[in-house]
Structure 1
Amino acid sequence: MATLTNPDVTIPNTQEVSFKLPWGIIAGKLWGNPDSEKKILAIHGWLENAGSFDRLAPLLFANELFTQKYSMLAIDLAGHGLSSHRGDGVPYIIMHYAMDIKLVLNQLGWKKLTIFGHSLGGAISSLLAIGISDQIENFITIDAFTPLGIRADQYLNRLKDAVESASTLYSIPDGFKTYPTEEAIIQRILEGNEKLNVEAAKVLAIRGAKPVENGFTFTRDIRIKAGSSIYFLGNSYLEFIQEVLKHIFVPTICIIPNESHMKLTEMISELKFPENYSNKFVSGNHHVHTNNPEVVAPVILEFLNLVSQC
């Protein structure tokens, strides 16, 4: 095939957008009326892109009330999808992602919004729910409470691993290999993440792969696979999570897939959640919103309907 497309995905009223930041471009896609009363900013997970919401968006916009009130912008984080790669020597760390998003919001001029993130995107969103709390109306997260903390006695080993992985990845001259066909690169996505189904891999490939002379290669920066040297320290990995939860004051729902590997279910009994915070269990794995969007869409619609009545 000459191009990466998925005819099975219906995208309502969508347009490609981009935002010029000091270091490069943040790309994204916007669904719905840009002048809508309510706004949603969607942030994808690690190694993914804005396409992870392609299968969910049509189900949300199939709801008449949602279409009347909301628009949704999904961005590609730096180094992912169609966004620019950071400059040589600049690492990919969570606080930089959060700062990028704040700059995007400044350009948009959004005064209020619902922030919606999956995995890494959920962790970033939790920081924004605190850092720009005056702008955040609601917080939706899938399979992530907050960034994970790390015990101080583990920090040096993590730092060592980060330096070694960065050294290896940064020395690769040409980045990713080339795959001869669309089917081949989709198969590589599936091999790299066995939790994805074929339909999910296809939508991720639309923004996550590009044609080159002898086939296709990945668009993302190979350096994002390097471990970060920046961690949040605490006496236990739960201590930091608990501290963040204490400072999230907006209506929040965490959608937890019952087959997730993130161990959120185990953490729940050890954490205290504020009254504004609810956890909702659904059937599926870590990528439930892309694999099985029909499971996630009703939960989001119900939550937004509930908070609109408060």
Structure 2
Amino acid sequence: MPSLLKWSLPVAGIVSELKFPVPWGHIAAKAWGSPQGHPVLCLHGWLDNANTFNRLIPLLPKDYCYMAMDFGGHGLSSHRPAGFPYHFLDYVSEVRRVTAALKWSRFTLMGHSLGGTVAGMFSCIFPEMVDKLILVESYGFFPAPQGQEKGPGLGRQKKLNSPLPSRDGPSKSEESDAWLDSKRKVIESILSLEENKPQPPKVRSPQEALQRLLQANSHLTEESGRILLQRGATEVPGGLVYNRDLRALTHNQDPLTLEQCVSFLSKIQASVLMIIAQDGIFNSEAENVAGYFVKPLQEAFQTNLKHFQLAEVTGNHFVHLNEPEVVAGLINIFLKRDESSKARL
């Protein structure tokens, strides 16, 4: 396993590529900054990868240690064994695996979208380990998702025929139906993938691979798409093949009620910075399936946490990658505030 003390600092600022052994293979990660600096673990969004922080990290304080990991089945990380679907808590446990390998006992978490949801849950389960929590286009939780089949509210869902919940939230009956329906779809989706005869990954030209990515992610610029594709695809004879595990497309998360989320977030001990984009998934009428919990969660963070800052910025769901200078200043100030709470390495 690589040692932080052996990192060298190239001119570009990218320190090293790392692999952390796990029972099914490895978790891949990349690092920037000072190996001896305050540790910041960065978590990407659904079907994205660690490259989502490529343009942001160089704008942050140089004396910090930044580590961006690829969740299992994403980027350069190993796929799970056959017969084992991905579950939301798998990503949370992967955060613990990486920090255990690094011997980090206290650190900052920064998550975009799904990464923010993972970071939020980790901060509730292991509150003593997280000193600061940065949520970019994430409320840290996604209560009782309904009317969706894929992805925890990240703007890339397949809408179902069931109606979306009202802003007052789903009823108990709707919550039960949503849970049962989601579990049925997960099981059927996984079995369907396993029943199909394995096919070699489809080879696409670089331009075709990029265009397919951009079509699935309307918030990405072409430049941002290329950055994600660098880590999200592998070059083979004839073109590129995507790296992501198809099983990661299936949303396998136990829906939490809004009340549960409010109760959980009260366990967070970290200072929290929440950055929401004006044209992001939570403010877009065309994509917003989270209206019923946005205001209650904001109020819960403000009421239950000693240090909570909500900032609305210009930009869309990928503002941190498309226009990193828009959020870098906010994050810089937040990181540097109260530096007496340094991490113990």
TM range (shorter): 0.7 to 0.9
Residue pair 1:11, 1:54 contacting (<8 A) in 2 also: no
| Deviation of 1:184 (Å) | 2.1
1:27-59 Cα distance to aligned partner (Å, 9 max, x none): 0100012122x0100000100000000111121
Match of 2:62 in 1: 67
Structure 1 residue 265, shift from structure 2 partner: 7.0
Deviation, 1:124, is: 0.7
Aligned to 1:6: none
Give the match for residue 218 of structure 1.
Answer: 242
Alpha-carbon contact 2:139-2:294 (below 8 Å) kept: no
Q: CA deviation at 1:172?
A: 5.7
1:77 aligned residue = 71
| Corresponding pairs, count | 289
Q: Cα distance 1:34–1:247, how it changes in 2: closer, same or farther (>3 A)? A: same
Give the match for residue 288 of structure 1.
319
1:46/1:11 CA distance change after superposition, 3 Å: farther
Over 3 Å counting, the alpha-carbon distance change for 1:302 and 1:101 in structure 2 is same
Q: 2:316 and 2:77 mapped to 1: Cα distance?
A: 27
Give me the identity figure in percent. 33
Distance 1:45 1:279 in 2: 20
User: Which residue, out of 87, 98, 120, partners 1:93?
Assistant: 87
Aligned AA (1:232): P
Between 81-90 and 93-102, the greater mean CA deviation after superposition: 93-102
Alignment-derived partner of residue 142 in structure 1: 136
Verify: 1:133 aligned to 2:164, yes or no.
no
Cα distance in 2, alignment partners of residues 127 and 56 from structure 1: 23
Shift of 1:163: 2.4
Query: SS in structure 2 opposite 1:232?
Result: coil
Please list, as runs of the form range in 1=range in 2, the aligned pairs for 1:221-260 lying within 5 A after superposition.
221-228=245-252, 230-234=253-257, 238-260=258-280
User: Residue 121 of structure 1 aligns with which residue?
Assistant: 115
* Superposition CA RMSD, Å: 1.9
Distance 1:90 1:259 in 2: 36
202, 212, 236: which is aligned to 1:177? 202
TM-score, length of structure 1 as denominator length:
0.87
**Residues 248/209 of structure 1: CA separation in 2 closer, same or farther (3 Å cut):** same
Runs of at least 5 residues in structure 2 that lack an aligned partner in the other structure: 1-10, 145-174, 283-287
Contact 2:137 2:281 in 1 (8 A): no
Q: Secondary structure of the equivalent of 1:308?
A: coil
Distance 1:176 1:280 in 2: 41
- Tell me the equivalent position of 1:199: 223
Query: 2:296 aligned with 1:270, yes or no?
Result: yes
Measured in 2, the distance between the counterparts of 1:305 and 1:281 equals 20
Amino acid in structure 2 at the alignment position of 1:305 = K
Following TM superposition, by how much is the alpha carbon of 1:17 offset from its aligned partner in structure 2, in angstroms?
A: 0.8
The structure-2 alpha-carbon separation of the partners of 1:175 and 1:301, relative to structure 1 and needing over 3 Å to count, comes to farther
- CA contact 1:166–1:227 (8 Å) conserved in 2: no
Q: Deviations over 1:148-168 (max 9, x none)?
A: 222223211112222232233
Q: Are the structure 2 counterparts of residues 13 and 155 from structure 1 closer, same or farther at C-alpha, using a change threshold of 3 Å?
A: closer
Pairing partner for 1:108 from 102, 105, 108 = 102
- Structure 1 alignment gaps of length 5 or more: 1-9, 61-65
Q: What's the counterpart of residue 44 of structure 1?
A: 44
